[in-house]
Amino acid sequence: MPTPSKDPRPFKRAILKLSGEALREPGSTDNISPEIVQRIASEIKEAIDTGLQLGIVVGGGNFWRGASASARGMDRATADYVGMLATVMNALAIEGALSHIGVKCTVMSAIEMKNVAEPFIRRKAEHQLDKGTVIIFAAGTGSPFFSTDTTAALRASEMGADVILKATQVDGVYCSDPRKNPDAKRFDTVTFQHCLENRLNVMDATAFSLCMDNDIPIVIFDLGPNGNLSHALRSQPIGTLVHGE
């Protein structure tokens, strides 16, 4: 396995990327599972109590997927704006669960909606992180045609984060698709360059380029098992670390 030249663990400031689907019980018709959100909030609190500074970017796929709606004939920009609003609903659910257990947090939206969220202002967000407030970044980048993976990479760059923690449904990066190849091997660590050369899907191209250009390591891990999120947030080895040379 490749050996990282710069392992961010233990890290002080992280961006956690959650998919919208992570908030939904598999097979359920409910868009958000309060139990899952509460479990995520509890594991976040464990890490915050150790002094971690945390920003969260959440997707909206449990409500809406702009690319899918566009493929069915909807104007892409409009479809993406609908998706951005879906992320705000998820962000508010996470904020409510964190607040309920005493975690200081706030939602900052890239689209102004002053009755439910603060506007995203970079300097203010940095100041809040320094004070220990969890920032939940909502509404994507505020512009269509960009994924929430790209939002995570952008906010990590703006906030000077040490790492992006990408919670997924797989336990890391493999040399090939483990669903098609039972002999696929999982990497403990892998370089950006190796991912590019072997077309390993880590993030979309825009997000991946941002991380690579700004030397922001990415940890890919499985959110499913209880305790995994807490391990990732507390800098414990888990999943796959994607890093620079």
List residues forming the annotated binding site for UMP. 60, 80, 141-148
SS3 88: helix
Going by C-alpha positions, the residue among 191, 55, 214 that lies closest to residue 124 is 55
Residue 162's contacts (CB-CB under 8 Å, 6 or more residues apart) are 8, 11, 12, 13, 14, 216, 217
Residues of each annotated binding site: 17-20, 60-61, 65, 80, 141-148, 168-169, 174, 177
Give one word for 106, left, alpha or beta, with left for phi > 0 and alpha for psi -120 to 50: beta
CA distance 139 to 87: 6
DSSP H helical segments within 17-121, as ranges? 34-48, 66-71, 76-100
Going by C-alpha positions, the residue among 222, 220, 145, 128 that lies closest to residue 137 is 128
Report the DSSP beta bridge partners of residue 53: 13
Residues of each annotated binding site for ATP: 17-20, 61, 65, 168-169, 174, 177
CA distance 152 to 60: 13
